[in-house]
Structure 1
């Protein structure tokens, strides 16, 4: 059990979402992507109000020290949902304290609440801490991942 507050962010948590984005940038060593062009308040409020998006933060005195961003995907073959964890990070100084597990446990609670039947995530080869965490919490499937570029805009 972590001593941190772990909770889903709401449209009232815009400042926390901005801070969580900065934390992601530092944790992933990719500050330009997460801090260079952050969405404005209206965009983030709309995103956090969207039931298809889930942001969970681990807070240490209102400072995000861990965060998770996930998408709820309605399925077509059955009337059910699945959740894809898009990003999960813990601040370097707070790792190995159960924060990532607490974030996923909160997402599991949310998944149950909304009727999702599975949560899935991908990890990169060589990211041993992530692979160890996900192995502890789930069943590993070896799959191939492909990025497909969209068509360029007309004109």
Structure 2
């Protein structure tokens, strides 16, 4: 009886922790009324210096191209949908060495998101369950931007709009940060 009660209490505590984590994640997706969507902030959880064990061919060799940027989006994130819409009209040649990872529940959902926003004109990956990006770089949040130097993760940011992110990436590449 005591064991069953202790197990029940443990499960209840775990459920509360998961609930608070979900609430925090959802709250982080609500835009600030003072224009927080223009903010580019360092990502709290990622693995600086990490390198992928293997880069998917659909990412077009971004891991071997000097400085590169990967944007992590998700089909279920409202901000990610807005960023994807911005990307769909942005000239690819102005992005530089740039790719998109779509962290999704299923490959089909990722492919539909990529197709809906014409992201297939860029190096891209439908990352089922976020396994590749979280497994290699410790990133579990979207939208986020990962900056690489010779395939090694150097910096990671969260953002709400494409233009402020691209400005930050230019500053980092020019050593202005």
* TM-score, normalised relative to structure 2: 0.28
Relative contact order, CA 8 A, sep 6+: which one is greater?
Answer: 2
Higher strand share: 1
| Structure of greater Rg | 2
Higher helix share: 2
* TM-score, normalised relative to structure 1: 0.31
